[in-house]
Copies of this chain bind each other. A is one copy, B any other.
Amino acid sequence: MVKVEFHFDFGSPNAYLAHLVIPEVEQRTGAKFEYVPVLLGGVFRLTGNRSPGESFAGIKNKLEYERLEMARFIERHRITSYRQNPFFPVNTLTIMRGAVAAQILGVFERYVDETYRHMWSEPKKLDDPAVLREALLQSGFDAERFAELVQDAEVKAQLLDNTERSVARGTFGSPTFFVGDEIFFGKDRCATSRKRSLQRVAADGKTWM
């Protein structure tokens, strides 16, 4: 079985959209995706990169196009659970350390699903400790234990180590995937179908929306 590493941070909406289609890709390819928590802020610091929102802020038409491609992806994959987070950008340091904590606690997969839901489906200000605590409790997690573990030196070091290793392998943004040493950047590299590509529009003459 082929393993695909998905280097993710909850702060990236494009990583969330990729997360939603990964089950389809697993089914289609037989590959297994393994989630690796990395801190996108750390990736940016280590590479000198910035978020699309910052990088493209002064460029006419560019962010509009990014939004269009996001809408196309959402339509193509019939995604209904994405909401823009009104608190964006949310500092993800604690919830990403939480992902490492969840690995230790053996609740990683459910933590990822739930935290993504709290970020991008029923969006909350998860960098507010009270809001985070409430979200954890709502999802049935031990909020006290998480609060302890995200302050644990080993948890902190693990997230930093994941992030540094990822950048050493070529990461500069999110979402990033690895198949062995092979790097793929962006939700479109992970997409399940090109049905609504330019080709498709060109073939049937129908415009997008």
Instruction: List the interface of chain A (C-beta within 8 A of B).
Output: 2, 4, 25, 28-31, 46-49, 55, 58-62, 64-65, 68, 167, 170-173, 177, 179-185, 188-192, 194, 197-199, 201-205, 207-208
Contacts and interface: CB of A to CB of B under 8 A. Distances in A.
A186 to B, nearest CB: 9
A68 B198 contact: no
A60 B48 contact: yes
A2 B197 CA distance: 14
B202 A2 contact: yes
Given A48-B60, A172-B61, A190 B179 contact: no
Number of chain copies forming the complex: 2
A54 to B, nearest CB: 12
Nearest to A190: B198
14 contacts: A2-B203, A30-B203, A47-B61, A48-B59, A55-B55, A59-B172, A60-B167, A61-B167, A61-B172, A65-B172, A65-B183, A182-B201, A189-B197, A194-B194
A29 B55 CA distance: 35
Contacts of A60: 46-49, 167, 172
B185 A208 contact: no
Contact of A185 (B48, B65, B173, B184): B65
A206 B185 CA distance: 18
Contacts of A59: 47-49, 172
A119 to B, nearest CB: 24
A170 B207 contact: no
Contacts of A191: 197, 199
A167 B61 CA distance: 8
6 closest A-B pairs by beta carbon, nearest first, are A31-B202, A29-B203, A47-B60, A61-B172, A2-B205, A184-B198
B184 A207 contact: no
A197 B4 CA distance: 13
